[in-house]
Amino acid sequence: MSCNSSVQQLEQSVAIDTSAETNMGLKKLTVENLGQDVIRDLAVLNPCYLPLLEDSSYYHIGFGKIGFTYNELFNSRLSLNHPYRNRYIVGDFNSMDVEYNSRGIKEKLPNIWNLTDFQKVPRNLLDYLEKAVGSQEFRELFYSNLDTFGANQTKMLNFFNQVWSFKTDPIETNYNSIGNTLYAAGQTLCLCEAYEDTLILVARFAVSSKRLDISIKKSEDGSSYRSHFQLLPVDNYRHYYASLNTISSRNWETQRKYTFYDSLHDLELGSINKDITFYRGRVELPNFLLIKPTVEYSRAMPGNGVHEVALRELARGMLGSPNSIGCIRISDFGSKFCRWWVPQDANFFILYQEDKYFGFVDSSGHSISAFRSSKDSDKFRKWMIDNYPDESESMGITSFGSPYNEKLLRAYKMYKSEYLSN
């Protein structure tokens, strides 16, 4: 059974209850007045419900609020009658499930027939457009039938050339790897639409969020160089990502020419913008969507964005696992579709549980670390230092630190049996 059909069955059961309550003259049941038990069940299958879940483990206690209301899903900057005001984004950033195994990634690409933008376009014409992806024969057929799109002709051509033609197969994996180290994969970016009686998951893309940070070091000859070290947005650094943000600007890229028709579509979404973002003035970050934390999260890091993987090829194979220095990395097609679909000032909810944000796994996706918290890992650190002081020093194991440190993991794999027998 697919996730979508499961969501529909749950929502159908709610609809049945709604009908019964309406017949009894009671209050109509809508998304706005769903109970927390129902929301919890729906959020497992459809992360669009996740912001409505009042679960403190997904939030940084002491900042902002725990759980949002149905009305807070909507874009507060667009007019009340704006057709895209109901669009919002959910960053579902848990890599591990309740059993601390890899959640795995299975992208849900947008369905051309279900996009609200094209509801007035005949189904058979959308079929031409869909089959034109990856097929020269059908692409020529699509071009030759453009006149049958009528008033939508130019809009459909621009959409195909600028967005849909870049579509690839969905990413599906149980874990990611760098060398011999396997990482839990499960982080996704979900595009959502809110309606009175349901929340629609339009698309779900694999993404990679923060795991690393940068330090400047000195070499023996006195020259400076940049080095990466692990710094997860957990524990004392949990405030790094705000639970609620807005997409304050939507930038472009050099791979595609920004056309007059792109500006018309941008105008529909709330802002015209052909600017291009470069990291440190050199490396392009294509289709950069700037993430602006709301005022409730004043300690959150400003200046991050959602953008196509650009800094190194290795990161493309890490989508689904934390691997960036702060921004949210996404695939080529994912970045282009998000740039086309996300309206100006859309709400962006980033939600995760600290102990499930990042993890190491074996080839079956099962956790290979016994550490669920810093308290657990610090016990092992102390045991290592007490029993193997020289080895601890050579491996760089200190008394305190993150439970997800790769050197600590290596030591745990070496001494696991002895440690557990004590």
pLDDT at 48: 98
Distance between CA atoms of 228 and 54, rounded to whole angstroms? Answer: 35
pLDDT at 145: 87
Contact 294, 244 (CB under 8 A): yes
Instruction: Note the Cα 219 to chain centre separation in Å.
Output: 37
pLDDT at 2: 36
- In the predicted model, what is the mean pLDDT of residues 116-138? 90
Q: What's the token pair of residue 152?
A: 């939508």
**Residue 21 banded pLDDT, cuts 50, 70, 90:** very low
- In the predicted model, what is the mean pLDDT of residues 308-321? 73
Distance between CA atoms of 322 and 170, rounded to whole angstroms? Answer: 19
Distance between CA atoms of 307 and 25, rounded to whole angstroms? Answer: 49
**Residue 15 banded pLDDT, cuts 50, 70, 90:** very low
Distance between CA atoms of 240 and 188, rounded to whole angstroms? Answer: 18
Contact 230, 405 (CB under 8 A): yes
- In the predicted model, what is the mean pLDDT of residues 344-355? 96
Lowest mean pLDDT among 119-128, 207-216, 406-415: 406-415
Does 276 have pLDDT greater than 90? yes
Does 8 have pLDDT greater than 60? no
Does 119 have pLDDT greater than 50? yes
Domains (range + CATH), the chain: 70-109+173-356 (2.40.440.10), 116-166 (no CATH), 374-421 (no CATH)
* C-beta atoms surrounding 134 within 10 Å: 11
Lowest mean pLDDT among 7-21, 290-304, 387-401: 7-21
pLDDT at 413: 80
pLDDT at 22: 40
Amino acid at position 39, single letter:
I
The 3-class SS string of the chain reads CCHHHHHHHHHHHHHHHHHHHHHCCCCCCCHHHCCHHHHHHHHHHCHHHHHHCCCHHHCCCCCCCCCCCHHHHCCCCCCCCCCCCCEEEEEECCCECCCCCECCEECECCCCCCCHHHCCCCHHHHHHHHHCCCCHHHHHHHHHCHHHHHHHHHHHHHHHHHCHHHCCCCCEECEEEECCEEEECCCEEEEEEEECCEEEEEEEEEEECECEEEEEEECCCCCEEEEEEECCCCHHHHHHCCCEEEEEEECECCCCCCCHHHHHHHHHHCCCCCCEEEECCCEEECCCEEEEECHHHCCCCCCCEEEECCCCHHHHHHCCCCCECCCEEECHHHHHHHHHHCCCCCEEEEECCHHHCCCEECCCCCECCCCCCHHHHHHHHHHHHHHCHHHHHHHCCCCCCCCCCHHHHHHHHHHHHHHHHC
**Residue 308 banded pLDDT, cuts 50, 70, 90:** very high
Does 310 have pLDDT greater than 80? no
- Any idea what the Cα angle at residue 67 is, between residues 322 and 2, rounded to 5°? 60
- Any idea what the Cα angle at residue 383 is, between residues 229 and 419, rounded to 5°? 105
Average pLDDT, the chain: 89
pTM: 0.87
